[in-house]
Amino acid sequence: MATGNLALGQEQGQLSAHPRVTNDFSINVATVNGSGSQSANSVLLKSIFGMGVPVSGKNLFPSNIAGLPTWYIIRASKDGYVARKRESEVLVALNPDTAREDALAMPVGGVAIYEEKLDLKQYRDDLVFYPVPFDKITAAVCPEAKLRKLVKNMVYVGVAAQILRIDLGLVESGLRKQFAKKQKVFELNFGAVKAGFDYAEATFTKQDPYFIERMDETKGKIIIDGNAACGMGAVFAGVTVVAWYPITPSTSVVEATTDLLKKFRVTPEGKATFAVVQAEDELAAIGMVLGAGWAGARSMTATSGPGISLMAEFTGLGYYAELPGVIFDVQRTGPATGMPTRTQQSDLLSVAFLSHGDTKHPVLLPGSVAECFEFGCVAFDLAERLQTPVFVLSDLDLGMNNWMSDPFVYPEKPEDRGKVLTKEDLDRLGGFARYRDVDGDAIGWRTLPGTDHPKAAYFTRGSGHNDAAGYTEKPDEYQEVMERLTRKFESARKLVPGPIAVKDGTSKIGFIAYGTTDFALRESMDQIKKEYGTDVDYMRVRAYPFAHEIHDFVASHERVYVVEQNRDGQLASLLKLDLAGDQVVKLRSILHYSGLPVDARTLTEEFATKEGL
């Protein structure tokens, strides 16, 4: 392969073969799990963000504590694209086990910053090579041998900053913030950054076309992961009882929730206005959530696929006995144990119909960290208003990766605690029937245990019951309750977050998607327009049951591609159950389910093939 043109040795965009590429490339940092690269990656990401360049970070990590390969991909995109890109133009190679495959995966003309001993030149010669003696540099700035493994990561931050022209001052302030109360740790780490930077400056002449340049696109924005955003939503919703069992990738939802509860929800007397219980398993977690919801608390759990399966029986009880509770499901790759640290959107069907018998549940589908916060909050209002378990369906990509966002909006609407009768109400009414539809919205009134009135009590059960909560096996009484539950689901349809018509123009073709598929789809739509001149409309679904606008969207298009990250087209299936017969035939699927977050190019190619473009 010809390489001469790539190594021009001149700076400032004089590369004729490769014109200057500014703020539009990905950096792939290939390390070993457990080597402590997270702080380094984070500071690199935030420095680019600090330069006003839209950026996203994805951690592709193994289900392992230490020793297996892990990749952190930072994408800078002047156009604001935040989905995964198939190829990374810049590689930081530190893992001997994957160095060869990492190098071979790069596009021609890419940049390889690597541990010199790995000798990447042996695999190909059409990259720009920046070999760095990481160990030597690290040893010089870090006398304490056992810290070197961690500090080494900062050296690549320095090298990358120098080569890509990232502002060293921002790296410094980022590190200062990260190690706010640990001056010595800061000094050690920044020393390593500086050593890497100086080494690159003294050793290399820039031979590649990749530059980070200041923009003004991130001002006022925040960076946060979806799990932290969900936790924040729950805390601002006023959650009081949290019961959970650790499971990847949902664990940090509860960790974030707990941290914030400790910070904001302790009285001046030092007492907690909350309870967090690490349960013995997911069965117990959901049992506690429903018990707490029954007794009047705002309760939640967070889990992922296997936990969802274990919660099935209880969720059916929640549906039938009409108990509020919020369940965050951060989806991972199934089935079975699957790939716990990889992403997918494959729990939708099981969550929507979780449990035996005729059951269905409201499912909120956040498509950004801002919606993780918003829906994380609103889910509690819905659960209490509808007196039923409500799911918030996120995924690993959204939950565990860093995303840019506008700052979250404080919930100004007061908490909606739903229909609860007090002692005074009972004095006035003389009694009540727990499951009777007195308001025409199919939602009954409930009382909380402890209500000081002899007529307050009722019997909650998962067995057949009539509208007065009495045990029944009478066909008409049983059916009356089941029919009301169907009507209640229709009430839910009007209360859950409606869809967003991202693009509703005059196209005959439409896209429907939800959650993290949105990021890649928006980019793909631009590619489709640019490369094929085709406009496609797009509606992003934000909850189940589906609002009527979704039916209208399908009705107003000739064909609709449902784009999602699972093998079986679960969203399409769910839509088909909801749509009229003549509409169902309009749906077709574009699917991606490898465990990696979907990328725009895959969608564009798939669309072009299906459309015969």
Partner 1 sequence: MATANATPKVNHIGLPILEYRGGKSTLCAGCGHNAISERIVDAMYEMGVQPERVMKMSGIGCSSKSPAYFLNRAHAFNSVHGRMPSVTTGAVLANRTMTALGVSGDGDSASIGIGQFVHLMRRNLPMIYIIEDNGVYGLTKGQFSATADLGSKLKTGVINELPGIDTCALAIQLGATFVGRSFSGDKKQLLSMLKAAIAHRGTVMLDVISPCVTFNDHEGSTKSYKFLQENDEPINEIGFVASFDDIEVDYDSGQVYDVEMHDGSNLRLRKLLEDYDPTDKANAVRTLMEAQEKEEILTGVFYIDTQKETFIDQLNMVDEPLATLPQSLTRPPKSALDSLMANLQ
Is the Cβ of residue 269 or residue 582 nearer to partner 1 in the bound state?
269
Residues in 434-493 at the binding interface with partner 1, rule: CB under 8 A: 447-454, 456-463, 471
CA 465 to each of CA 294, 424, 458, 491, 526: distance values in angstroms, whole numbers, following the listed order: 17, 26, 11, 21, 54
Question: How far, in Å, are 95, 98, 129, 147, 326 from residue 120 at the CA level?
Answer: 12, 11, 8, 26, 50
Nearer to partner 1, 198 or 415 (CB): 415
Please, what is the minimum distance in Å from the beta carbon of residue 224 to partner 1?
5
d(CA 154, CA 166): 14
Closest CA to 364 of 418, 328, 338: 328
Out of 408, 511, 514, 607, point to the residue binding partner 1 (CB under 8 A).
Answer: 408
Task: Annotate 287-303 with b (16+ C-beta within 10 A) or e (fewer).
Answer: bbbbbbbbebbbbbbbb
Could you tell me how many residues make up the chain?
613
Q: Is 275 in the site for partner 1 (CB under 8 A)?
A: yes
Q: Which of 4, 143, 268, 270 binds partner 1 (CB under 8 A)?
A: 270
H or E stretch including 589? Answer: strand 587-591
Residue 137 vs 239, nearer CB to partner 1: 239
- Please identify, using beta-carbon distances, which residue of 225 and 397 lies nearer to partner 1: 225
Does residue 235 interact with partner 1 by CB under 8 A? yes
Q: Near partner 1 by CB under 8 A, which window of 71-79, 134-142, 271-279, 435-443?
A: 271-279
Of the pair 462, 498, the CB lying nearest partner 1 is at 462
Of 220, 268, 440, 581, the one binding partner 1 by CB under 8 A: 220
* Interaction between residue 264 and partner 1 (CB under 8 A): yes
Runs of H (alpha helix) within 95-167: 99-104, 134-141, 148-164
Structure tokens that stand for 184 in this block: 């010595």
Nearest approach, Cβ of 234 to partner 1 (angstroms)?
11
Tokens for 268, please give them: 């001046």
Q: Which part of the chain contacts partner 1 (CB under 8 A), choosing from 55-63, 96-104, 141-149, 237-245?
A: 237-245
Binding piece for partner 1, criterion CB under 8 A, among 15-23, 100-108, 393-401, 406-414: 406-414
Alpha-carbon distances, residue 213 vs 54, 405, 407, 485, 597 (angstroms): 11, 21, 24, 57, 27
Nearer to partner 1, 34 or 291 (CB): 291
Of 194-202, 411-419, 497-505, 571-579, the segment contacting partner 1 by CB under 8 A is 411-419
Residue number, 217 or 564, with CB nearest to partner 1: 217
* 243: contact with partner 1 by CB under 8 A: yes
Angstrom distances, CA of residue 547 to CA of 292, 351, 541: 30, 18, 9
**Stretch of residues binding partner 1 (CB under 8 A), selected from 191-199, 343-351, 359-367, 402-410:** 402-410
Q: Are 326 and 383 in contact (CB under 8 A)?
A: yes
Q: Please say whether the beta carbons of 90 and 28 come within 8 A.
A: yes
Residue of 26, 56, 227, 240 that binds partner 1 (CB under 8 A): 240
Considering only residues 286-305, where is the footprint of partner 1 by CB under 8 A?
286-299
For partner 1, the closer CB: 415 or 552: 415
**Distance, CA of 301 to CA of 322 (rounded, Å):** 17
Q: How far is the CB of 407 from partner 1 (least distance, A)?
A: 4
Going across the sheet that includes 543-544, the strands are: 275-278, 241-244, 299-303, 325-331, 389-395, 363-364, 543-544
Identify residues 336-355 at the interface with partner 1 (CB under 8 A).
none
Alpha-carbon distance values, 270 to 35, 263, 299 (Å): 38, 11, 22
For partner 1, the binding residues in 80-109 under the rule CB under 8 A are: none
| Contact residue for partner 1 among 176, 221, 503, 551 (CB under 8 A) | 221
Q: Which two tokens stand for residue 177?
A: 């913030």
Give the integer Cα–Cα distance in Å for 305 and 300.
16
CA 26 to chain centroid, in Å, comes to 20
Element (H, E) at 226: helix 226-236
| Residue 295: CB minimum distance to partner 1, A | 4
Question: Is there binding between residue 233 and partner 1 (CB under 8 A)?
Answer: no
The number of residues that bind partner 1 (CB under 8 A) is 72
Question: What is the pattern of x (binds partner 1, CB under 8 A) and - over residues 305-334?
Answer: --------xx--x-----------------
Supply the minimum distance, in Å, between the C-beta of residue 277 and partner 1: 7
Which residue, 93 or 243, is less far from partner 1 as judged by CB? 243
Q: Tell me how far, at minimum, the Cβ of 220 lies from partner 1, in Å.
A: 7
Record the tokens describing residue 348, joined without a space: 């939708």
55 in contact with partner 1 (CB under 8 A): no
Distance CA 510, CA 519 (A): 16
With respect to partner 1, which residue has the nearer C-beta, 135 or 313? 313
Provide, rounded to whole angstroms, the least separation between the CB of residue 273 and partner 1: 5
Q: Which tokens is 465 given? A: 């019951």
Q: Is 21 in the site for partner 1 (CB under 8 A)?
A: no
